[in-house]
C-alpha cells in the first residue's frame, strides 16, 4: 500500500479527483452532435450536464458520512464500480432521456472519488500541509481538463459521440483496479455513530454554525459555480458562436486549462511562503477581476476566440490558486467528521454548479454574453464571500479543532 507522503499516492489521489473533468470534458465536444443525433434542443442536451451535477450533489451527501463510519476505501471501490456500470449505460443509451438518467448515475458514482480523496488528505494532514498536498494533486487534476476535450474532440470527429463514453469506461476501470490493489485505508478511528440520524444532524448543524466552514465553503461554492457556468456553455460558444471546428475544440479548451495547470503549480509553493489565507486572497481577487474582463469583452460585442481564451485562462489560474486553500480551510477544524464536511461542502458546490449551468443554458442567446455574465457574477460573489466572511474570522477560530 502507498505511503501517506509518497508521490505515487498524490498521483493516485489526483487521478481520482480528475474523474470529474474526464467524465464531463471528454463528452463536451460531442454535445452539439448529441443534440443532432437525438433531434432535441440545446436545453435538453444541457440536462445531461446540469442534472448530472444534481446527481453529484446527492452523491456528496451519501459518500462522506458512510466513509466516516466504514472507511474511505470500500466506498471508493463501490462508487467506482457504479461509475463504470453507468458509463456503459451512457454508451448504449437509445434516447436523450436514457442518456440523462445514465449520466445522473454516472456522476453519482464518480463523485465518490473527489469527496473521498479530499477526506483522505484531511485524514493525513492539516491546514497548510493539507493545502500543500492538494496543490500537486491539483496538478494531476488539471491535466484532465487539458487532455479530456482534446481526446473527446478527436473521438467525436473520428468515431462519433459514443466513443467518449468508451474512453471514460476504461478510465474508471483502471482507477478501480489501482484503488483495489494499492490504496490503503486512511481512517484510523472509524466513527461507529456517524450514521445515526441524531448524530448526523448534529454534525451537519455544527458545520453550518461554523463561520470557518461556511466562509471557506461559500468561496468554494462560488468558485465552482463559475466553473459550472463555463462548462455548460463553452462547447456551444466555441463551436457555434466562434465557429471553431469540433476537432479543434479541445485545443481551445485545453489552452484555457493551461491557466489551471499554472495555478496549481504556483499554489503549493505560495501557500508555504505566504500562508493559506494570503494565498486565497490573491486567488479570489484574480477570479473576480478576470470575470469582469470576460464580461466586459462579451457585452462590448467582442466576438473572438482570444476574448474567451485570455480571460478564462486568467480565471482558471486564479481558480486553481484558490481552490486548495478553500478546501483545506473548510475541512481543517473537523478531523472526526472530515467525510461529512467534505460531503456537505461538495453538495452545495454541486448544486451551485448545476444552478449556474442551467442559468447559462436558459439565457443563451447565440452570443458569449450568458456564459460571461454568469462567470463574472460567480467571480464577484467569490470575492465577496472572502471579504465579508473569511477575512473577518479571528485566526484562533480558523485553527480551532472540533473534537
Q: State residue 92's pLDDT score.
A: 94
pLDDT of 52 > 70? The answer is: yes
CA-wise closest residue to 339 among 97, 116, 87, 10 = 116
Angle of helix 163-182 relative to helix 127-159, nearest 10 degrees, comes to 150
Q: State residue 184's pLDDT score.
A: 78
List pLDDT tens digits, range 53-109. 788 888 878 887 888 888 888 999 999 999 999 999 999 999 999 999 999 999 999
Is there a domain that residue 188 lies in?
no
pTM to 2 decimal places: 0.76
Report in angstroms the alpha-carbon separations of 353 from 37, 50, 195, 229, 375. 26, 8, 27, 7, 11
Is there a domain that residue 320 lies in?
yes
Helix extents (H) in 71-126: 72-91, 96-110, 112-124
Give the whole-angstrom CA distance, residue 86 versus residue 386: 38
Average pLDDT over residues 45-50: 84
Is there a domain that residue 312 lies in?
yes
List pLDDT tens digits, range 350-359. 889 888 988 9
pLDDT of 129 > 90? The answer is: no
Q: State residue 88's pLDDT score.
A: 97
Number of C-beta neighbours around residue 208 at 10 A: 11
CATH of the domain at 18: 1.20.1250.20
Is there a domain that residue 215 lies in?
yes
pLDDT of 260 > 90? The answer is: no
CA-wise closest residue to 121 among 140, 106, 144, 108 = 140
Report in angstroms the alpha-carbon separations of 47 from 28, 241, 330. 13, 20, 30
Q: What is the mean pLDDT of the chain?
A: 86
Is there a domain that residue 2 lies in?
no
pLDDT band with cut points at 50, 70 and 90 for residue 125: low
Q: State residue 133's pLDDT score.
A: 62
Give the whole-angstrom CA distance, residue 116 versus residue 113: 6
Is there a domain that residue 276 lies in?
yes
Measured over the CA atoms of residue 104, residue 108, residue 109 and residue 113, the dihedral's sign is positive
Percentage of the chain with pLDDT > 70?
A: 91
pLDDT of 306 > 90? The answer is: yes
Name the more confident of 219 and 402: 219
Number of C-beta neighbours around residue 241 at 10 A: 18
Give the whole-angstrom CA distance, residue 388 versus residue 393: 9
* Burial of 133 (C-beta count, 10 Å sphere; 0-12/13-18/19+): buried
Percentage of the chain with pLDDT > 90?
A: 39
Name the more confident of 256 and 9: 256
pLDDT band with cut points at 50, 70 and 90 for residue 9: confident
pLDDT band with cut points at 50, 70 and 90 for residue 376: very high
Average pLDDT over residues 140-153: 79
Range of the domain at 353: 7-183+195-399
CA-wise closest residue to 324 among 220, 228, 195, 227 = 220
Helix extents (H) in 18-41: 19-25, 31-38
Name the more confident of 236 and 339: 236
Average pLDDT over residues 236-258: 86
Q: State residue 327's pLDDT score.
A: 85
List pLDDT tens digits, range 380-400. 999 999 999 999 998 877 776
pLDDT of 132 > 70? The answer is: no
**Total tally of structural domains belonging to the chain:** 1
CB 91 within 8 A of CB 169: yes
Average pLDDT over residues 322-349: 82
Average pLDDT over residues 262-290: 89
CB 59 within 8 A of CB 146: no
Q: State residue 126's pLDDT score.
A: 59
Average pLDDT over residues 143-160: 85
Q: State residue 170's pLDDT score.
A: 96
Is there a domain that residue 1 lies in?
no
pLDDT of 128 > 90? The answer is: no
Is there a domain that residue 152 lies in?
yes
Q: Which residues contact 114 (CB under 8 A, 6 or more apart)?
A: 16, 17, 19, 20, 346
Q: State residue 103's pLDDT score.
A: 95
List pLDDT tens digits, range 184-206. 777 777 766 767 788 778 888 98
Amino acid at each position: 500500500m502507498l505511503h501517506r507522503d509518497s508521490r505515487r499516492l498524490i498521483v493516485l489521489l489526483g487521478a481520482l479527483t480528475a474523474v470529474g473533468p474526464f467524465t464531463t470534458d471528454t463528452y463536451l465536444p460531442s454535445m452539439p452532435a448529441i443534440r443532432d443525433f437525438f433531434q432535441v434542443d440545446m436545453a435538453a442536451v444541457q440536462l445531461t450536464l446540469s442534472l448530472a451535477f444534481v446527481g453529484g450533489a446527492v452523491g456528496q451527501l451519501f459518500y462522506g458520512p458512510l466513509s466516516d463510519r466504514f472507511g474511505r476505501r470500500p466506498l471508493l471501490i463501490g462508487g467506482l464500480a457504479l461509475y463504470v456500470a453507468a458509463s456503459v449505460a451512457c454508451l448504449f443509451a437509445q434516447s436523450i432521456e436514457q442518456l440523462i438518467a445514465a449520466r445522473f448515475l454516472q456522476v453519482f458514482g464518480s463523485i465518490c472519488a473527489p469527496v473521498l480523496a479530499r477526506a483522505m488528505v484531511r485524514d493525513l494532514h492539516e491546514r497548510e500541509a493539507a493545502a500543500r498536498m492538494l496543490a500537486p494533486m491539483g496538478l494531476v487534476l488539471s491535466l484532465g481538463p487539458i487532455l479530456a476535450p482534446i481526446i473527446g474532440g478527436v473521438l467525436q470527429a473520428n468515431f462519433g459521440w459514443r466513443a467518449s463514453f468508451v474512453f471514460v469506461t476504461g478510465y474508471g476501470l483502471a482507477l478501480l483496479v489501482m484503488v483495489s490493489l494499492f490504496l490503503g485505508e486512511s481512517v484510523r478511528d472509524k466513527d461507529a455513530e456517524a450514521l445515526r440520524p441524531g448524530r448526523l444532524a448534529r454534525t451537519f448543524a455544527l458545520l453550518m454554525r461554523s463561520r470557518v466552514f461556511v466562509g471557506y465553503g461559500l468561496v468554494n461554492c462560488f468558485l465552482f459555480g463559475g466553473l459550472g457556468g463555463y462548462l455548460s456553455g463553452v462547447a456551444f460558444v466555441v463551436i457555434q458562436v466562434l465557429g471553431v471546428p469540433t476537432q479543434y475544440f479541445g485545443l481551445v479548451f485545453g489552452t484555457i486549462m493551461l491557466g489551471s495547470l499554472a495555478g496549481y503549480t504556483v499554489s503549493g509553493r505560495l501557500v508555504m511562503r505566504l500562508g493559506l489565507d494570503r494565498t486565497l486572497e490573491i486567488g479570489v481577487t484574480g477570479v473576480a477581476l478576470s470575470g469582469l474582463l470576460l464580461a466586459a469583452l462579451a457585452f462590448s460585442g467582442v466576438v473572438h476566440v482570444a476574448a474567451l481564451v485570455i480571460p478564462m485562462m486568467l480565471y482558471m489560474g486564479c481558480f486553481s490558486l484558490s481552490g486548495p486553500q478553500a478546501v483545506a480551510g473548510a475541512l481543517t477544524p473537523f478531523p472526526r467528521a472530515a467525510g461529512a464536511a467534505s460531503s456537505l461542502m461538495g453538495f452545495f458546490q454541486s448544486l451551485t454548479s448545476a444552478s449556474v449551468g442551467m442559468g447559462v443554458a436558459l439565457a443563451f442567446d447565440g452570443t458569449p454574453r450568458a456564459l460571461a455574465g454568469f462567470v463574472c457574477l460567480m467571480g464577484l460573489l467569490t470575492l465577496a464571500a472572502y471579504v465579508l466572511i473569511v477575512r473577518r474570522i479571528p485566526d484562533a477560530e480558523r485553527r480551532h479543532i472540533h473534537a
